[in-house]
Amino acid sequence: MSVSALPIVKDLKREESLARQYKAVRAHTESLCETLETEDYVVSSMPDVSPTKWHLAHTSWFFETFVLTERDSSYVPLNDRYAFLFNSYYVQAGERHCRAQRGLVTRPTVEEVYEYRRYVDQHMLALLEKVGHDPVITLGLHHEQQHQELLLTDIKHVMWTNPLRPAFDARRVESASRRLDDEWSEVPEGIHRIGFDGDGFAFDNERPPHRVFVDRFRIANHLVTNRQYLNFVEDGGYRKPELWLAAGWAIVKDEQRRAPIYWEKNESRWEEFTFAGMSELDPDIPVRHVSYFEADAYARWAGHRLPTEPEWEIAARTFPEIPDLYGSRWQWTQSAYVAYPGYSPPSGAIGEYNGKWMSDQWVLRGSSVATPPGHARVTYRNFFPSDTRWQFTGIRLASQ
């Protein structure tokens, strides 16, 4: 499958021109597909998962809809039916295809989707010759980076759903994290400032910065490892209702869950599905793909709790040397995803980006192995519902 010949620069560097940032981000998306066969691009394995082909097209639709159509009066879409197929959830941008049926769409072909990307790139690069700074283009780049992560987490689930359990990329193997001598870092009580007040890019939901009071707390210096989580599993963690929130216990019971989504026990040996295929469970790396329910139950079993969102940010600001704050696992907090005091979403369809999702979800902080380098920051707010398991989610404990 053809991939872009554009140079691959994995980090969004502020000092680079917008055109260079654009080329780098678009090329990085396509580089993630290098190991895929054409058939891999088309499948969706559950409603939360989008086909790779859809990610490639939807990120282009974003630039087409919110930049080219708005900024360039001579722009003509390559195919005006694509807007129906590749709009995700922007009600103000028009009617859209059913999310759960994205995996049933065989046309446009993968090659035609790459042609769509080339077409949008050609017009965007012409526009970028005339534009020095544009907040919507910058938003589009950060949006595409978010889809780079989704592309990886989605294709992992697609491969896992296949009984052959194929490897996505055998080069993607994790090693154990750096460890500090102390298990905990302690933060004294006080009033702290959280939220984004810099002059670079941040999503609207990271603002406004505001003050919070926290009691003294301790935060774990290390993420919970597979070894620690296996102790919970083998102690009957999935058979003890007293450890679980009611909604989580109902799922565990109904689906007879016994371990995280990608774990399998073969005779006495635990294995895990990874990007490199099935492999023996590595006890020393952080546990991954646990839901909020699992993280909360583990914390209760361990005699601790999950951090709140302000606690996580204050700890990350106070102790930036704590391992795995970024680049390993998204870390569940026990804070609901709601607006910061004084928040109001931007006007128009772009205002749908973050604001309308502020119900029934939990905040996760940090970033994961699937997050593109340079994308996250200390104020970054990720959010997912309680039973989300296909993202690279892990556990960092807190305690009084």
Residues of this chain that interact with Fe ion (CB under 5 A) are 88
Q: To 10 degrees, the CA torsion angle through 94, 95, 100, 105?
A: -100
Beta carbons of 221 and 322 less than 8 angstroms apart? yes
The residues with which 362 forms a beta bridge, in sequence order, are 336, 384
CA 294 to each of CA 61, 166, 174, 254, 290: distance values in angstroms, whole numbers, following the listed order = 36, 27, 22, 15, 6
Whose CA is closest to 40, among 149, 155, 148, 151?
155
CB of 144 to Fe ion, least distance (A): 8
CB of 105 to Fe ion, least distance (A): 17
CB of 270 to Fe ion, least distance (A): 35
CB of 145 to Fe ion, least distance (A): 11
Comparison of 88 and 228: residue with beta carbon closer to Fe ion: 88
Comparison of 90 and 312: residue with beta carbon closer to Fe ion: 90
Sheet of 263-266, strand order = 263-266, 269-274, 277-280
CB of 58 to Fe ion, least distance (A): 6
Whose CA is closest to 305, among 191, 395, 194?
395
> Which residue number is nearest to Fe ion in terms of Cβ?
88
CB of 175 to Fe ion, least distance (A): 32
Q: What single letter denotes the amino acid at residue 6?
A: L
CA geometry: angle 339, 47, 136, nearest 5 deg: 45
d(CA 20, CA 24): 6
267: left (phi over 0), alpha (psi -120 to 50) or beta: left
Comparison of 31 and 88: residue with beta carbon closer to Fe ion: 88
**Parallel, antiparallel or unpaired: strands 277-280 and 330-336:** unpaired
Comparison of 271 and 352: residue with beta carbon closer to Fe ion: 352
d(CA 99, CA 46): 10
d(CA 155, CA 162): 11
**Parallel, antiparallel or unpaired: strands 217-220 and 184-187:** antiparallel
d(CA 312, CA 315): 5
CB of 93 to Fe ion, least distance (A): 11
**Phi/psi at 127 (nearest 5 deg)?**
-65, -40
d(CA 106, CA 108): 6
Comparison of 88 and 185: residue with beta carbon closer to Fe ion: 88
- Count of residues in the chain: 400
Encoding tokens for residue 172?
A: 């993607």
Comparison of 205 and 333: residue with beta carbon closer to Fe ion: 205
CB of 59 to Fe ion, least distance (A): 7
Comparison of 293 and 383: residue with beta carbon closer to Fe ion: 383
Comparison of 41 and 66: residue with beta carbon closer to Fe ion: 66
**Phi/psi at 254 (nearest 5 deg)?**
-60, -40
Comparison of 41 and 273: residue with beta carbon closer to Fe ion: 41
Comparison of 56 and 252: residue with beta carbon closer to Fe ion: 56
For the beta carbon of residue 361, count every other beta carbon within 10 angstroms. 17
CB of 233 to Fe ion, least distance (A): 35
CB of 326 to Fe ion, least distance (A): 22
